[in-house]
Each structure stands twice: as C-alpha cells, then as structure tokens.
A and B are shown apart, each in its own frame.
Chain A
Amino acid sequence: MIEMLVNMLSMCIPFSVALLLASLGEMFNQRAGVFNLGCEGMMAMGAFIGMLIPFSAGGGGAVSQWYNVLGFIAAGVLGAFLGLFFGVVTVTFRAPQGIAGIGLQMFGVGTAGTLFRHFVGGTQSIPGIPDISIPFLSSIPFLGDVFFSHNGAVYLAYLFVPLAWYILFKTPWGLKVRAVGTNPRAADSMGINVSRTRYEALMLGGALAGLAGAYLSIAQAKMFSDTLISGRGFIAVALVYFGHWHPLQIMGGALLFTFAQTFQTQIQSMGISFPYELAVMLPYILVIVVLSFTSRNQTTAPTALGKPFNREIRT
C-alpha cells in the first residue's frame, strides 16, 4: 500500500510541472486583468521550439544538456513574444479577450503543427533530461523517492512557487500588477502605467506558458505531437480560478489535476480494468465540476479581469 502511494506521488510531481508553470503564468496575466485563453497556443509553440533545438542538434541522439537548456530558453522567449503580441491585441487595441484568446490558441497550435511537419516530420524522440537525485536527501526512505529524485526542471519549477508568491505580494512590481487588475483607474491616477504593467505581466505569463510547453516536450514526453498539449492550456486557466489567484493554492490544484490525469496509468498498474476513455475524461470532468463550485462566489477574483482599460472613457 505504501509502495503504491510512493509510486503515485513520485509520478504526480514531475507530471504536474507543465500545469503548474502554465497556471502560474496565467495567474500573473489574470492578476493584471487580462484573461489569456491563448495559453494552449503558447504552450504548443513552446513545446515545438523546445523540442526542435535538441532534435536538430543531435538528430534524436544524445546531445549536450546545454541544447536542452537552450530549448527551454528559446521556448520562454517565444512565449514572451506571443504574450507581447497578445498584449498588442487586447491591451492596445482592446479586443475582447475571450475570443482573441481562441484566435491565439488556433494560431499557436496551427503554426506549431505546420512547422513541426516541415522541420521534424513524423514522431521523433529526443533523449530528454536526466533525473538528478539529490545526495543524502534522496536516500531518505519514502520522502526521497517522492521529492528528491526528479529531473532538474522539476526542482526549479517548484522553487518558482514561493518566488511567484514573493513577486506577486512582496515586490513593488507585484503590487502594480495587482493594482491594474483590481482598479486600473485608481492605479492610473497614482501614476502607474496600466498598459505597460499589463504588457509586462503578459510577457511573463507567456514566457511561463512557453516553458511549460517545452517541459512537456523536452522532459516529459520527449517528443512533440499535435495532441501533446491536449487541453492542458485550458486546464491551466481553470486552475487559476480553482486556486483563487494564489500561487500556493494553484500548486495544490496542479497536483490534484495531475493525479486525475495520471489516474488511468494508476489504475492500470493496480490491475483494475476500466474503460480507457472514461479515465482520460476524468480531468476534464473535474474542471467543470470545480468551476461550478468556484465560479459563483468570486470575491478573490481581480475585479478588472477581462475588462480593457480606456483612460478616455468613464466607467
């Protein structure tokens, strides 16, 4: 029983990284008042470019770890660039954010698919990144396997959770982000540049979404395919609601949803036969159920979420 639990937990933690990073990014966007539904597209682009760099360096064989690092960096930069683009559309031109996000999602997934077919072709795998067992800590029974025997990106991603909390709640920039998402007019009258802050938040969010995508292709699946993201971008958006726009609660949500996603493998390993499709449905059903319970009473939601700010129009 304990062994099973250890297996389950040590599987959930590395698999939760993509969701975690993407939803922390989305949290910054939404805290600044921008609802970014294009997260899925950004992740697809990040996953593609992240996989392309180690693949073209090594042709699918072993490569220096620096190429993987370069893949992550490229994915982050590309994501930030897409965030900038989304900022032009939703902040400067004040387009409706929901539908523009759908456009960005189609654009990202479509472009990643097109470029993938040209530059890579079919299913090609890359070596990925190795697990790093932290000395001493990983030899602790139970805890060692669960927490200290993952690949390097996992530790960095989880270190980012307290960092995100610190940025959002303890730095002047975090205060600005929360101000423009809560009451942009008041922030504007205090001399905060609303558009600029929203742009910055979108770029940070985009970079994190790109990294999340690259994590999926480089570290988790070790390949790219059209269905690699399969709704994780949308689940990340829902997770932000579930986590009440707070990094620690979002982390809890990411673990919960990863558990639902890996549920299929879990029960298979227990030897219970259960229709594969029903198990795959589980996280999506969970999103709807969770949203039904959390959407009604949103006292913690940024009040300006989804509302473009226009200095010239009184509200």
Chain B
Amino acid sequence: MTRSFRIAFKVAVMLIAAVSAVLIASIILWMIGADVGATFYTICVVPLTNSLHLTEVLIRAIPLCVIALGITVAYRSGIINIGAEGQMSIGILAFTGVALAFPDVPRPLLLPTAFIAAVIGGGLWGFIPGILKARLNVSELLSTVMLNYIAAQFYSLCLRTIYLDPAEQGLGAAGTPQSMRLSENVWLDRISGRLHYGIVIALVLAVLIYFLVWKTTIGFRMRASGSEARAARYGGINVAFYVTLAMVISGAFSGLAGGIEIAGVHRRAIEGVTNNYGFSGVVVALFGGLHPFGILPASFFFGLLIYGATLAPSRVGVPANIVQVMQGVIIIVIVTAQMVLSNAYLQDRLWRKLQGMRKKEA
C-alpha cells in the first residue's frame, strides 16, 4: 500500500465525519425551523468574507491549535486529556498572578516569566491525573473532568477575591469578577485587528511537537507506551513515567494557551476566557488526525465554526450551541469511521480493487 493511499484514507475519514456532522446538524436546525442553508452559509462562509472576520477566526484558532497539540501528545501516549479546560484556567491564573505581582519588571523579563508560570500551572494540573493514572490506575477521563470543575470554581474564587480589580471592589455583588487590566509589559503585540503574535507561537509549537513526538527518543518512548503498554514495558520503557510526562506536557500546552489568550486578547483575567476551547481542542486533535500538520488546518476550520456560530444567533436566529452539537457528532463519527476503516482486511480489499482497476485501464 502506498503512502498516498493511506493519506487518502485518512482524508476520507475526515470527510465522512464532516458530512455526517452537517447532516445531523441540519436535522436539528430543521427541527427548530431555521433556514438550514443560510445557517451554514453564516457559520462557514460569512467569516471568510472580510479581513476583520478573518482575524477573529484566527484568534480562535490559536488556543485551539496549542491545546490540540498538547492533547495529541497525550493521546499518542495512550492517555486522553479532556481536562484542557481546567488546565487552561490554571494557566491563566498563574500568568495573571505573575503579571499582577510584578507589573514594573521590564517586558523582556516579565513576559517570558509569566508564560513560564502559565506552563507550570497547566503542567501541574496535568500532572495530577497523569500520576493518578500511572500509579493508581485512576481513569483519566473521570479525573480530568472533575479537575475541570474544580479549576472552574477555583478560577472564579480567585477572580472574586485576591485578583479582583480594585475598581470593582466596592461594588460587591454588582461588580464584574475580573482582574485589573494587566501591565503593558505582558502584552503580546497585535498584527491586525485583535490578531496577535500568538499565531507565530502556535506555528512554532506545531513544528516543535512534530520533532518531539516523531524524531526524538522521548517521543518514541511515549508513543510506544501509548500503542502497546505491555510491549513497551518489556522493551525496558518506564511506561508510568512517560505517561505522566505526556500528561504534564499536555497540561503545559493548555496552560500556555491560556497565557497566550490573556496576553494577546483579553489582557486581564475575566470569566469565560476558556470558552470551551478545552473540549473543542479534543475535536481539533482528532479531526487533525492527531498530527501537528493536520491540526493546523483543523484548528483554522474549528476557529471558523466557533466564530461563525457566534454570528448565527443575531443573523439567522440559531443558538450558538449548534457548534457543540456538530463537535459531538464529529468525535463520534471520527472514532467510528476510524474503527471501520482501519480494518486491515477492508483496506487491503479496497487497495486490491483499485490496483485491479488500474491494470484494466492499462
């Protein structure tokens, strides 16, 4: 079987997933009596029509890409990280904490320090489910979900107490729970509109992850632990260590995504920054075929869907939740289609049929 055949196969999986998501979403849109064509036009085409919309799409693609890269590392190591939402919140708290504590430190020092804090914060939140999985066999699916809820509560606790903007303090319940505007020393510069240089960070990280996972020993060991833990252990790989490491890396990426989001877009910690990116990141990672170079276009596509969905309520009267429906369908169809299509017999049969057709033509 040729390489191009395998790639075509993967693309086929994605196409099936996209088509069924559109179909099921259409059924739901039809149920609520919306104009199906106009809705998809608003979600998928309108954001591409002018440069302001396009920058908004890219802004959403940046955290999706960074989070999906982290999730890929974990997934390839045999551990599913659905806790990116919580890891991102903790990353934001760490980033903001540093920025609030040292507002006067010059930028070349403060910005990297704040990013490192975000990485450590997220990594720590990823370490908990990682070590629990490796040492105590706790299902990472459950522990990461629970840590999401814990992080969300901790986040709003911090925003209401120690991080609270002094301007909001006197207002009591009427005030907005948010931090004060952060010092300019932790801002990421903007390119156009709200689009910021985080996009460069995301691209660099994609290349970095490609080399880490596919071209280094550590990456090989992580992938070995993920694909067959018993064989890896027999080969002398410390599976528990590499599974935990993968989860720490995954959490660190989510934390960093939070830091980038604050430095580039919001410039203060506020409710709703995570915006479900943690769960969407899982979809992006799967849709991108769990490979950095697939994730780049996938994160653009989902950035488009997420931004398009924000336009839908006002333009066609469709709730933005429709994008969550599509994401759920996409996950289910991708894992199902992969199972069906990864059947070696089926692949082989298809490959032979194609070969036969080619011979006949010749």
Answer yes or no: do A and B interact: yes
Residue B247 interfacial (CB < 8 Å)? no
**Are B335 and A111 in touch, CB under 8 angstroms?**
no
Can you list, as one digit per residue, whether each of A4-44 has a CB less than 8 Å from chain B (1) or not (0)? 00000000000000000000000000000000010001000
Residue B80 interfacial (CB < 8 Å)? yes
Tell me the residues in window 288-344 of chain B with beta carbons closer than 8 Å to chain A beta carbons. 318-319, 321-332, 335-336, 338-340
**Are B153 and A291 in touch, CB under 8 angstroms?**
no
B137 in complex: contacting residue of A107, A113, A114, A296, CB < 8 Å:
A296
Q: What secondary structure prevails in chain B residues at the interface with A?
A: helix
B142 in complex: contacting residue of A106, A108, A287, CB < 8 Å:
A287
**Are B146 and A104 in touch, CB under 8 angstroms?**
no
Of all chain A residues, the one with the shortest Cβ separation from B27 is: A111
Q: How far is the CB of A100 from chain B (nearest CB, A)?
A: 5
Can you list, as one digit per residue, whether each of A262-293 has a CB less than 8 Å from chain B (1) or not (0)? 00000000000001011011001101100110
> With A100-B332, A106-B325, A291-B132 given, can you name 6 additional A-B contacts, CB distance below 8 Å?
A111-B325, A113-B321, A115-B31, A118-B33, A234-B145, A295-B139
Return the 8 tightest CB-CB contacts between A and B, nearest first. Answer: A107-B328, A110-B324, A103-B331, A106-B328, A103-B332, A113-B321, A277-B157, A110-B325
**Are B328 and A104 in touch, CB under 8 angstroms?**
yes
**A117 contact set on B, CB distance < 8 A:** 319, 321
Residue A105 interfacial (CB < 8 Å)? yes
**Are A110 and B327 in touch, CB under 8 angstroms?**
yes
Residue A237 interfacial (CB < 8 Å)? yes
Tell me the residues in window 83-114 of chain A with beta carbons closer than 8 Å to chain B beta carbons. 89, 93-96, 98-111, 113-114
**B322 contact set on A, CB distance < 8 A:** 110, 114
Residue A231 interfacial (CB < 8 Å)? yes
Of all chain B residues, the one with the shortest Cβ separation from A119 is: B32
B146 in complex: contacting residue of A100, A280, A288, CB < 8 Å:
A288
Residue B282 interfacial (CB < 8 Å)? yes
Residue A230 interfacial (CB < 8 Å)? yes
**B324 contact set on A, CB distance < 8 A:** 106-107, 109-110, 113-114
Residue B214 interfacial (CB < 8 Å)? no
Residue A238 interfacial (CB < 8 Å)? yes
Of all chain B residues, the one with the shortest Cβ separation from A286 is: B146
Q: How far is the CB of B63 from chain A (nearest CB, A)?
A: 18
**A94 contact set on B, CB distance < 8 A:** 339
Given A113-B324, A231-B145, are A104 and B319 neighbors across the interface (CB < 8 Å)? Answer: no
**A102 contact set on B, CB distance < 8 A:** 80, 82, 141, 279, 282, 331
**Are B156 and A292 in touch, CB under 8 angstroms?**
no
**Are A114 and B321 in touch, CB under 8 angstroms?**
yes
Binding site for A on B (CB under 8 A): 28, 31-33, 80, 82, 128, 132, 136-139, 141-143, 145-147, 149-150, 153-154, 156-157, 160-161, 279, 282-283, 286, 318-319, 321-332, 335-336, 338-340
Can you spell out 8 A-B residue pairs with CB atoms less than 8 angstroms apart? A41-B328, A100-B335, A114-B318, A118-B33, A234-B145, A277-B154, A277-B157, A291-B143
**A114 contact set on B, CB distance < 8 A:** 28, 32, 318-319, 321-322, 324-325
The distance in angstroms between the C-alpha atoms of A295 and B323, with both chains bound, is: 35
**Are A115 and B32 in touch, CB under 8 angstroms?**
yes
**B336 contact set on A, CB distance < 8 A:** 89, 93, 95, 100
The distance in angstroms between the C-alpha atoms of A292 and B335, with both chains bound, is: 29
**A41 contact set on B, CB distance < 8 A:** 328
**B150 contact set on A, CB distance < 8 A:** 281, 284-285
**Are A295 and B146 in touch, CB under 8 angstroms?**
no
**Are B147 and A106 in touch, CB under 8 angstroms?**
no
B331 in complex: contacting residue of A100, A284, A288, CB < 8 Å:
A100
**A295 contact set on B, CB distance < 8 A:** 136-139
Number of interface residues of A (CB under 8 A): 48
**Are B138 and A292 in touch, CB under 8 angstroms?**
yes
Of all chain A residues, the one with the shortest Cβ separation from B128 is: A288
Tell me the residues in window 292-306 of chain A with beta carbons closer than 8 Å to chain B beta carbons. 292, 295-296, 298
Of all chain A residues, the one with the shortest Cβ separation from B325 is: A110
**Are B319 and A113 in touch, CB under 8 angstroms?**
yes
**Are A111 and B28 in touch, CB under 8 angstroms?**
yes
The distance in angstroms between the C-alpha atoms of A5 and B329, with both chains bound, is: 46
**Are A230 and B321 in touch, CB under 8 angstroms?**
no
**A107 contact set on B, CB distance < 8 A:** 324-325, 328-329, 332
The distance in angstroms between the C-alpha atoms of A111 and B147, with both chains bound, is: 24
**B141 contact set on A, CB distance < 8 A:** 37, 98, 101-102
Tell which of B132, B318, B324 has the most Cβ of chain A within 10 Å: B324
**Are B325 and A230 in touch, CB under 8 angstroms?**
no
**B149 contact set on A, CB distance < 8 A:** 230-231, 281, 284
The distance in angstroms between the C-alpha atoms of A277 and B271, with both chains bound, is: 14
**B157 contact set on A, CB distance < 8 A:** 275, 277-278
Given A114-B28, A277-B157, are A98 and B80 neighbors across the interface (CB < 8 Å)? Answer: yes
Given A118-B32, A280-B153, are A292 and B132 neighbors across the interface (CB < 8 Å)? Answer: yes
Given A114-B32, A281-B150, are A103 and B328 neighbors across the interface (CB < 8 Å)? Answer: yes
Q: How far is the CB of B328 from chain A (nearest CB, A)?
A: 3
Tell which of B132, B139, B323, B340 has the most Cβ of chain A within 10 Å: B139
